[in-house]
Amino acid sequence: MTGDPYRYDLAGKRIWVAGHRGMVGSAITRRLGSEDVEILTAGRDVLDLRDQGAVRDWIGDMKPDAICLAAAKVGGILANDRQPAEFLSENLAIQSNVIDAAHSLDVQRLLFLGSTCIYPRLAPQPMPEDCLLTGPLEPTNEWYAIAKIAGLKLCQAYRRQYGRDYISAMPTNLYGPGDNYSPNGSHVLPAFIARMHAARTSGTREVEIWGSGTPRREFLHVDDLADALVFLLRSYSGEVALNVGVGDDISIADLARLVAEVVGAEVELTFDRSKPDGTPRKLVDVTRLTALGWQARIPLREGLERTYRDYLAALDAGAVRGH
């Protein structure tokens, strides 16, 4: 490679964080708070992103220089499995409306967020970016994965055909403040925090884990993700949808034990094998991101401690999402 490294200067830019009330969107907003940028936001109450005309009008009126697309229909394994229509249709609509309108209204820069479930169910571990579309997807979330693949492909297509500076990032499983704690709709980590906390406060000893407990997952604190996204916005331009992760994973049973320890719950685990395990392992290869100069900083245990404190504060305020 020759020439100067790519740099997008954020100074003075108007950046629309779509989905700013979600876990990721609010972390991006917090992180952008320390940059010299103007942050634009619109909640679902004023702008439903499934409405193509409304999205065009909003972008046309607000004229963002850059968009972080962190709005999506999101949920854990059971929600994905039970609502295939909404996970496919809403995500296709949200992302096409935003990306198409960004192109037609001449928005310079866009960052699309996918997920590592885009990779084949039995991908090599750790999963490199180039294993995309090399094998069948995990059936519990193939609907969501197909929408996310379409989103990253749309960014690639606008880049290839029209030279648009649109990029995509594929984060691993996330956790942190503002997560969704809905018992059936959440991801595993918030589910464990809520369940272990309930066990501790009620004195219950048996805590149920869905599936076999043997699948392995990687967990990235959302503040690390937000830092990585700002880094990418500033310093990455390319077709490849980049993995964002920590490069280390843990079994679901061990995660349950670790959460129990952090929460201070003395429990025995039971396994509900009628619930799906999903992908056996999902560890991302972060070689490309590391080579660009970014690395996660928050170790899992510290991130869990912080997240449990956030959960307790939200409980006190009666503001736990999904409860």
Ligand X SMILES: C[C@H]1O[C@H](OP(=O)(O)OP(=O)(O)OC[C@H]2O[C@@H](n3cnc4c(=O)[nH]c(N)nc43)[C@H](O)[C@@H]2O)[C@@H](O)[C@@H](O)C1=O
Catalytic, out of 144, 158, 166, 181: 144
Give Cα 278 distance to the centre of its chain: 17
Say if residue 25 carries a ligand binding annotation. yes
CB count, 10 Å around CB of 109?
A: 21
Residue 21 to residues 29, 71, 117, 179, 313, Cα–Cα distance (Å): 9, 9, 23, 10, 17
- DSSP string of 186-200, one letter each residue: S-HHHHHHHHHHHHH
- 144 counts as catalytic: yes
Nearer to ligand X, 40 or 170 (CB): 170
Q: Under DSSP, is residue 286 helix (H, G, I), strand (E, B) or coil?
A: coil
According to CB under 6 A, which one of 171, 177, 190, 215 is a site residue for ligand NDP?
Answer: 171
CA 276, 218, 30, 232 torsion-angle sign? negative
Strand ranges, E, within 52-108:
66-69
Q: What minimum distance in Å lies between the beta carbon of 59 and ligand X?
A: 27
Say if residue 172 carries a ligand binding annotation. yes
Q: Which of residues 48-77 bind ligand NDP (CB under 6 A)?
A: 48-50, 70-74
Residue 31 binds ligand NDP (CB under 6 A): no
CB count, 10 Å around CB of 95?
A: 25
Residue 211 binds ligand X (CB under 6 A): yes
Nearer to ligand X, 159 or 282 (CB): 282
What does the angle CA 280 – CA 78 – CA 116 come to, to the nearest 5 degrees? Answer: 50
Site size for ligand X (CB under 6 A):
24
Beta bridge partners of 207: 269
Q: Which of 113, 13, 9 is nearest to 62 (CA)?
A: 13
58 binds, among ligand NDP, ligand X, none (CB under 5 to 8 A by kind): none
Q: What minimum distance in Å lies between the beta carbon of 47 and ligand NDP?
A: 6
Binding residues for ligand X, rule: CB under 6 A, are 76-77, 80, 115, 117, 140-141, 144, 173, 186-188, 191, 209-211, 215, 217, 252, 275-278, 282
Which residues belong to the active site? 144
Residue numbers in the known binding site for substrate are 195, 210, 217, 277
Binding residues for ligand NDP, rule: CB under 6 A, are 19, 21-25, 44, 48-50, 70-74, 94, 113, 115, 171, 173-174, 180, 187
